[in-house]
Amino acid sequence: MATRIPERRAAPRVGVEVAAHVVCPGIQDAIVVQTRDICRYGLLCRMPRYIPPSTQLEVAMILPMREGSKVRSELLELSGLVVRTEPPHERPGTQGYDVGIYFARPTDQARSLIDHYVRERSGGQRAV
């Protein structure tokens, strides 16, 4: 029987693919990425290049928010900090890197929107 590892996350997350623009220091153009999951504290995305942990960056994304049968778009612009990159070192020929970004100082409104989005996408139940 497999032992289940307890969830250590402080907030529920949901797996979603949302386009985001990431602006990193030293890189002239924004990098367009797809999120893999999101929670009130951060997101995981796939980057085409290596971004080292502790890199400060800016993230902009539009979350589609459902209200009954209507959908409205909410723009989120957040400062972030890279907390994890996999593989952990730059490797020639690597097709991409999974990058964990922690949201630094999000507004209460941004956290509220993300919480609503996570609840909505998880069917109103606790997301993983």
pLDDT tens column, 6-48? 445 556 677 788 899 999 988 888 999 999 999 999 999 999 9
Burial track 118-127 (b if 16+ CB lie within 10 A, e otherwise): bebbbeeeeb
pLDDT of residue 8: 53
CATH of the domain at 68: 2.40.10.220
Output b/e per residue, 25-57; b: 16+ Cβ within 10 A: eeeeeebebebbbbbbbbbbbebeebbeeebeb
Number of folded domains that form the chain = 1
Domain limits for position 21: 14-121
Indicate whether 80 belongs to any domain: yes
Question: What is the reported pTM?
Answer: 0.83
Tens digit of each residue's pLDDT (9 = 90 or more) over 50-83: 999 999 999 999 998 888 889 899 999 999 999 9
Given phi > 0 = left and psi -120 to 50 = alpha, else beta, which region is 79?
beta
